[in-house]
Structure formats: structure tokens, C-alpha cells
Structure 1
Amino acid sequence: MGGDMLEVTITATRRPELLRQTLESFDKNLLCKIHKKRAIINVDPVGEDIDSRRVVDVCHEFFEEVIWNCPKQAHFPSAFTWVWESVTADWVFNLEDDWELLREVDIEILVRLMVQNSSLAMLRLPQFHACPTYMKTWNRF
């Protein structure tokens, strides 16, 4: 990625500890080598009975710059639209607050695949089932 900015879009609910676990795993296994990164997060008012900004505060632990939206009503399609409309960088990595990356992934390989295959618009890690007590884990390609 060189010196390019990476924006990380996040759709979340009021689950700060789950988001912290997600960001710890992605920071350790994917994002740690990226120096220029910004989070764009939408926090829907669902989950714990806390101020949504506590979830935004978790993002500040991992990103110097955080663009955030805490709407009064939850609506996933609106949240997804808002984060993507807020993107300004050429490179975007999309997360949800309950994902966990279990092994190291070289983001430079992902970028190289995108650059070498101009017809690709996105790469997607495989999806696994999750429930409120079990995180989605992305440990294979």
C-alpha cells in the first residue's frame, strides 16, 4: 500500500468489548503495518444501555482519526450506506463489530491482487456463522 490511506468502515452496535476484541484481532493480524489509516464507524443504538460514543472511544484506541455517526434509530441499510458514502480513500477495508481475524493476513498481497486484476472491485474473506455469543472468525481463505 505504500503511503496510501486505508479507511476501515465499521458497522456496529453498542457492544464496546466485542468491538475491542474485533479491532485487537484485525490490528494484530492485518492492520498493524498500515501507518495511514482512518476508521469510519456507524454505531446503531442497539445492544447495551450505554452511550454510543463509548463504542466510538474504542475506535480511538486503534485509530488516530475516527469519523463517526451515532443515529437515533437503528437501520443497518442506512448505516452501511453512511459509512460507504463517507469514504474518501482509494483503499477500504470493511468490518462488522463481531468479526475476529485468527491468523496473520498480509494486506500487501490483497492489494497486489486488486492492482493486478483491474476487473476486481473487492475481495471478500469467507463467511462463517455467528450468534450473539460466538464471533465470526476469518481464519481461512
Structure 2
Amino acid sequence: MALVVGVLLLCACLLLGWLAIRRVRLMRGGGVDLCLRRRFAVTDWHFGVGRYRGDQFAWYRLTSFRVGASVTIDRTEVEIVDRREPLASESFAIPYAAAVLRCRSHGEDIEFAMSRDVLTGFLSWLEAAPPGRSTGYRQAS
């Protein structure tokens, strides 16, 4: 019995170590902290790390063992549908968010909750493009 408990504790420690190392690597590579939700219920927010990769923004869920990105959006296909302050009922789910952006990409709505610094970087990334190329960035009115 003690052997089984020891093996389970070792596995749990290895998994937690993997998640910690993964987060550190993502943040050192230019990652930013932000929350995401696809289903629009108050409890469906997920913490994660976003990274800019050229014309793509990749979001990695913090508690996922997946090697690749959980969500990827293309700068040329994204549209900002709405921008708002977090609701009081969301304060426990997204504690440090200053803004919530609802974006649409390929007909799917996604919400990002982020701090003001991350918001500034995200909007700058959306508006940026190499010379002679349009970003496709548009904001719904």
C-alpha cells in the first residue's frame, strides 16, 4: 500500500513539475498571462499564457499537458467584436483583468481577459504588419 501511495505521489510531483517548467519556458519566450473562454458562462474562464508567433497568436492553457497551443488565432482573420470591463460576477474567475475583448475568428467567438499592459501589446500586434501587407485587422462597430 505504501508503495502505491509513493508511486502516486511521485507521478503527481512529476506532472506538477512538468506544468511549472512549461509555464516558465512559455513566459521566458515572450509569453503574456491572460484568460480565455469560448463558452460564455461566468465559470468557463481558463488561465493561460499567450505568445505571438508572427501573424499568429497562440494560447496555451495553464493546466493542460498538451504540447502545442490550445487555441491559435491568425492576425489577418480576427475581428474585435466587443471590449468591456470585467463584470463584478467575474472578479473571482479573472482577478487581475482590466479589460475583456470578445474576438471573432472564422465565425467563432472567443473572449480574452487581460491586464492593461497585455491589452496594449495585443492591440499593437493586431495593427502591426510588414510593409506592403494589410493585417486584415478590423473592429466591429
Where on the TM-score scale, by shorter chain, does this alignment land: which range?
A: under 0.3
Instruction: State the TM-score, normalizing by the size of structure 2.
Output: 0.25
Instruction: State the TM-score, normalizing by the size of structure 1.
Output: 0.25
Which protein shows a greater Rg?
2
